[in-house]
Structure 1
Amino acid sequence: MSLGQKLAPHLPFLRRYARALTGSQSHGDSYVKAALEAIIEAPEQFPLDVDPRLGLYRTFQAIWSSANPESDDGSAHPAGREGIASARLGRITPLSRQALLLTAMEGFTAEDAAYLIDSTPAEIDELVADALAEIARQTRSRVLIIEDEPIIAMDLETIVRDLGHDVTGIAVTRDEAVAQALADRPGLVLADIQLADDSSGIDAVKDILARFNVPVIFITAFPERLLTGERPEPTFLITKPFQRATVKAAIAQALFFDAETVPA
């Protein structure tokens, strides 16, 4: 099997990580493209002594670090999502965010994450704890949950409240979701894909976004269906069955890039 064939199954998830790290599909994809170009130009430098997925993320991390996208020299921040991220990055270290995403969202062990960012497992644990605590201090919001499975909805509600956020409601259909969003505007939406009446959580989100902008985290048992690269993809995507840490990381990241939760 060629190196390309070994790496192909992992590319959608590397793109997800890059997108969450940058807050932008286009920016995230540009770093993934640069990493792939580096592998093509010098395949002999690709680490063959580790799992291909680790080697792929390691190459990406090297590109990301060399670009130094999260440096902050005190100059004025750009507008838009990059500006929002820059404002927050002055209050949280880049390594903490990377450690959080690599472990909680991408599922790497502390040992693997340590390899990826040249750290130690103990330091990774500290970085993750620091990231969660700092982002929690920076972000407080109100969350609408769109989920038709009662047990999953209750679990999500508990996670949201444990993070210090309020829940505006739990909707089980497209119509309920839109009605609740309009009645009590949330600052974040957690949306399942398949809903109780066979309606679509994607359609519910489209309806909501047609009225106002709000960060959205999609939840699905089939993430590959939304990670095709054929159309705009959700910035934040959680795979079912999910780990609580994954949901916490996604919420933290979604609010990290949200203008309405930027502290004064």
Structure 2
Amino acid sequence: MEYWEARSEEFAGYGIEYAFDPDRDDTDVIVELVENVQTCSVDGHNREAVGCAPVIVGDAPDTATIEIKDGFSDELTLTTIKHEFGHTLGLGHDDDPVEIMSDDPGDRIPDYDLRVEIHERYRETVEQINEGTDRYQRGTELLGDLEWAEAVEPFEEASEHYNTARDALTEMREDAESIDAHRAVALLGETESFANLYGDAAESYALMAAARADENFAEARGHREDANEAVGAALEYDVEVGYSLAEALGLQ
């Protein structure tokens, strides 16, 4: 409301003053959080929307209802409410301010293309981590069967997958830092640490298995201790799903 009180004269051509009263029955504008927003019956809303409001260009109805899809980040929800309030002032998707009124998220979200790219790369990287985990588990099964020499290769492959993921996550974290996406930086850092530590663990297990196959027991014991230490440290970190990162990047 403060946003449009300061800008309605410039963009809508008239001044507006709002009063917030959540208990009033005969309000002029109602904002509702809903599970699903119905398709708006105006041009440009031919797909599922995160918000919907009437474009008021003539006589105002007694009550204008704004629907906002629930469950998105506070940042995106606030931007959506600003957008829908603009419609009630008579503004369409081609009107200024473009960073609020455009129906293209690329106009409304700063550095949108980079944010989407980071999210897509993250989803691919999680697949890389999953592949590493599959090879890691195979190596663990072989260790349980005392197949020392056979366990070396899957652990080496696991380490390669984890390290590839770690390097990709480092680049993504640096990209997120460049656009001040602080929540995304923290999330990417968590996954980066997870991948790095499991890469170290897989490498140590590969060395342990090779030493055990050569009956170098003391060396094998040292590598096992290194692997267990890395695994214990890795358990402090989480690999978040893509939805969490999308929200952290302001995309959801």
- Asked if Structure 1 and Structure 2 have the same fold, meaning a TM-score greater than 0.5 normalized by the shorter chain, the answer is no
Output the TM-score relative to the length of structure 1.
Answer: 0.23
Question: Rg: which structure is higher?
Answer: 2
Output the TM-score relative to the length of structure 2.
Answer: 0.24
The structure whose RCO (Cα within 8 Å, separation 6+) is larger is 1
